[in-house]
Amino acid sequence: MNIQQLYEFCLSKKGVTEHFPFDEDTLVFKVGGKMFASTSLTNWEKETPSINLKCDPKVALELREKFDGINPGYHMSKVHWNTVTINQDVLDKKILHLINHSYELVFSSLTKKNKNEIEDLESR
């Protein structure tokens, strides 16, 4: 997986926007104003890419036990976030699944009003 593939996949989801709220290096993807993924552009340039993704706490623990490339979220809540190292032992297909999981967790936590606004924008 490369940064362009990650970028396009995240932005293909309903209502997703990109931001740099922390600095010029940390790319953040949000839905309904809430973050579901973040990545360091510098780490991609250094060929040590990773992505922070929200995760169900029970699933997060299972994933950390199963994969060397999945660890507690770097600079995030260790309970609800994982850092997934790209191009290590986690296949791209699994990473896309984890991005979907993160997006769905955040989208499902939005208010009904926010969900409807996103649905309305997408249907235009």
Query: Which CATH architecture is the domain 3-113 placed in?
Result: Alpha-Beta Complex (3.90)
pLDDT recorded at residue 75 = 85
For 7-62, how does the pLDDT look when each residue is reduced to its tens digit (9 = 90+)?
999 999 999 999 999 999 999 999 999 999 999 999 999 999 999 999 999 999 99
Per DSSP, 88 falls in state S
In this predicted structure, the answer to whether residue 77 has a pLDDT above a threshold of 90 is no
pLDDT recorded at residue 82 = 97
CA distance 6 to 124: 25
For 107-120, how does the pLDDT look when each residue is reduced to its tens digit (9 = 90+)?
999 999 999 999 88
Stretch 63-78: mean pLDDT, rounded? 93
Per DSSP, 124 falls in state -
pLDDT recorded at residue 123 = 72
Domains in the chain: boundaries: 3-113
Residue 30 phi, psi (nearest 5): -130, 155
pLDDT recorded at residue 120 = 86
Per DSSP, 72 falls in state E
For 85-109, how does the pLDDT look when each residue is reduced to its tens digit (9 = 90+)?
999 999 999 999 999 999 999 999 9
pLDDT recorded at residue 29 = 98
